[in-house]
Amino acid sequence: MKNNNQIRIISGKYGGRLIDTPKTKATHPMGERERAAIFNSIRNEIPGRRILDAFAGSGAIGIEALSLGASHVDFMEKHPKAIRTIQKNLQTLQASDLANILRAPDGDYGIIFADPPYDNPQYGVVAGLVAHLVPGGLFILSHPESPEPPQLSYLELLSDKKYAAANIKIYRKN
């Protein structure tokens, strides 16, 4: 039975499983509708890819990617409660061997998810993540309406959609 501090993995190997979210206002889990829209549009790009879930919070985005066949996910997170929550979620799903929890990116990635806190979007960090994206890789940014996100003109914008307070942009690095 789901409680207020849990969200559901949408599809794949862990589909239907519940994971915990941190009991803190420092993170905001991406809604199921937004996650479904993102993963429906990129699901064929995920299998076998190394992925970065930046500003990971609960780890829901990265776990969703593991569920759909990502080879490895690095969860980038600084908040201690969020780190403990990600560790617990990975242990519950027996997926700890497919992931690392880091404070900064480590290497290059085929897909990078950036979902910074809306009250402190840290756009300088967001823009710096692109340096870790392989050619042909995808960069997915969730951001508030204001302030405007950085212009990532060196990436090709594939999609730009609004879901309630979330704006989701999907880019490809050529």
Q: What is the mean pLDDT of residues 48-67?
A: 97
Domain span at residue 144 reads: 6-172
Query: Would you state the pLDDT for residue 144?
Result: 87
Per-residue pLDDT of 75-128, as tens digits, reads: 999 999 999 999 999 999 999 999 999 999 999 999 999 999 888 889 999 999
Query: Would you state the pLDDT for residue 116?
Result: 92
Q: Please report where in the chains the tokens 């201690």 appear, as a residue.
A: 80
Give domain status of residue 119, yes or no: yes
How many domains does the structure of the chain reveal?
Answer: 1
pTM of the full predicted structure? Answer: 0.94
* Residues whose CB is less than 8 angstroms from the CB of residue 37 and which lie 6 or more positions away in sequence, other chains included: 161, 163, 168
Crossing angle between the packed helical segments 32-42 and 60-67, to the nearest 10 degrees: 40
Q: How many CB atoms lie within 10 A of CB 147?
A: 9
Give domain status of residue 77, yes or no: yes
CB distance 6 to 20 below 8 Å: yes
Give domain status of residue 115, yes or no: yes
Helix (H) or strand (E) holding 101: strand 99-102
Confidence bin at 146 (pLDDT 50/70/90): confident
Q: What is the mean pLDDT of the chain?
A: 93
Q: What is the CATH number of the domain that holds 104?
A: 3.40.50.150
Give domain status of residue 1, yes or no: no
Report residue 133 as tokens: 């994206």
